[in-house]
Chains A and B, each alone.
Chain A
Amino acid sequence: MQSIKYAAPTSVEDAVDVLAEYGDKARVLAGGTDLIVQVREWGRDVGIFVDAKTIPELTELAMDSSEGLTLGAAVPCYQIYGNDAVRESYPGLIDAVSMIGGTAIQGRASVGGNLCNSGPAGDSIPPLIIYSAICNVAGPNGTRQIKVEDFCTGPGRNCLEDNELLVSLSLPAPAKSSGAHYLRFIPRNEMDIAVVDAGANITLDGDSISEARIALGAVAPTPLYLADAGSALVGKPATEDSFKEAASVCREAATPITDMRGTIEYRKHMSGVLAMRALRGALTRARGGDVNVH
């Protein structure tokens, strides 16, 4: 049986030292709900678990009304949806963290871990994209910032070097008169992986749209930021017709595969359907309404 070590660094610098020493044999452990299973079931080759939860910056959840949200990479889902200020400001993120796995998974699983696992269907990644999240990454030469839509590079792959650590995510404070919604389609009611998932964030200027961001999951090798679909909405009235145009851009931009969860044709169709629903939910919230999510 392969022997694995465990490290519990207490600072970002110490964690980076361990990562630098062990290279591709080191894996950062947040909630462990993906990593521990991958080691046990897939025989993933890990030489050392580097526990992220013993580092203060990775367990910090800080809200500032002008700066926005700083979300430590190892903060578990339940702490996010248990925070009233985050619920108030980032409902599109709450939509996702309250549907990842079940209650016991949400007790451990983190958004940072979900992002670093870099699954094409990672539930929390489209919400991060629509909220313009920035990844704060630490390495031996200091820190760098990466736009979240540029973070994932393929299924299970991302732009982190072996000696780099995702410290936190910064989400700017939402604009006034903005609203966001995220949803996914699964054949079950809970506890499943998305066939397609979508998020939208729109800002209103009166009855017209001044800014829009749309993201899709499970329809490409990485979660997709649909910049063109968003810009197609800018300056348009917030109506079904405008949304249909953006949804059509989404459908065309999706490049899904056929697998056990759905076919290419079905996933492309659902990309448009879910983009419409995400936009309608975002509009409802931008106007101060509630969206019933489950």
Chain B
Amino acid sequence: MSTKMVEGKTIISARINGQTSDFIAEPRDSLLDVLRENLQLTGAKEGCNNGNCGACNVIMDGRLVNSCCVLAVEANNTEITTIEGVGSPDDLHPIQESFLENAALQCGICTPGFIVSTKALLEENPNPTEHEIRYWLAGNLCRCTGYDKIVRAVQDAATRMQEGSK
């Protein structure tokens, strides 16, 4: 039988934010568990832990996913972008600048998920309509802003990024 089996702890290797990372995980650990607890990448947040809120969103092999609904063992040999890979305090991504300048956050718990989701959106659709933005971000919940400022920040980020790429 050529079935790869994992029982107990195993070493997982993934490219996370451009760097190869090896970490130890068990089959029941989620990707979110290992990002936060093994790799100290605490930007992704545990909100609902069941795929509803989007606070833990990361980009895995080019697709937006809820990291709480991915097993860490499934991340072996994948490429992952977390909020830590989007920008840094000294070098903010245009999406992060737009969120700050448009006051698109209050408590901030949902913000990493929104920014990662927005990055995935603008990579696929650089000039989305308001409807497309709201539809794409339907899986990200924010209980503070009422969403309007977030939508405006995404529109602003799209403009900045298109001007930046000219």
Contact = CB atoms under 8 A, between A and B. Distances in A.
B94 interface: no
A105 B51 contact: yes
Contacts of A189: 138
B102 to A, nearest CB: 21
A14 B69 CA distance: 25
Nearest to B138: A190
Interface string B3-36: 1111110000000000000000011101000000
B66 interface: yes
Interface residues of A, number: 41
A6 B139 contact: no
Nearest to A14: B3
A33 interface: yes
Contact of A33 (B51, B63, B74, B120): B51
A33 B66 contact: yes
A32 B2 CA distance: 23
A294 B135 CA distance: 9
Contacts of A105: 51, 66, 69, 139
A-B residue pairs, 9 tightest by C-beta: A102-B139, A190-B138, A6-B27, A107-B63, A6-B6, A9-B3, A8-B4, A37-B50, A4-B28
Contacts of A6: 5-6, 27, 71, 73
Given A32-B69, A41-B50, 5 more contacts: A4-B27, A33-B51, A53-B74, A104-B66, A191-B52
Contacts of B2: 9-11, 14
Interface string A23-46: 000000101110011011100000
Contacts of A258: none
A17 B117 contact: no
B49 A3 contact: no
A185 interface: no
Interface in B131-166: 135-140
A47 to B, nearest CB: 10
A220 interface: no
Given A8-B3, A104-B51, A108-B65, A36 B139 contact: no
18 contacts: A1-B28, A3-B26, A5-B7, A5-B27, A8-B6, A18-B3, A32-B70, A36-B71, A37-B49, A37-B69, A102-B139, A103-B64, A103-B117, A103-B138, A104-B66, A104-B139, A108-B65, A190-B138
Contact of A101 (B51, B57, B120): B51
A235 to B, nearest CB: 40
Contacts of B3: 7-10, 14-15, 17-18
Nearest to A102: B139
Given A6-B71, A29-B71, A104 B30 contact: no
A267 B155 CA distance: 39
B50 A104 contact: no
B69 to A, nearest CB: 5
B54 interface: yes
A18 B3 CA distance: 8
Contact of B49 (A7, A11, A40): A40
A280 B136 CA distance: 27
Nearest to A108: B65
Contacts of A54: 4
Contacts of A101: 51, 139
A197 to B, nearest CB: 17
Interface in A77-99: 78
B107 interface: no
Given A7-B4, A10-B2, A14-B3, A39 B69 contact: no
A107 B63 CA distance: 6
Nearest to B50: A37
B8 A33 contact: no
Nearest to B120: A103
Given A6-B27, A29-B71, A37-B51, A78 B138 contact: no
A51 interface: yes
A103 B27 contact: no
Interface in A37-72: 37, 39-41, 49, 51, 53-54
Contact of B136 (A7, A76, A103): A103
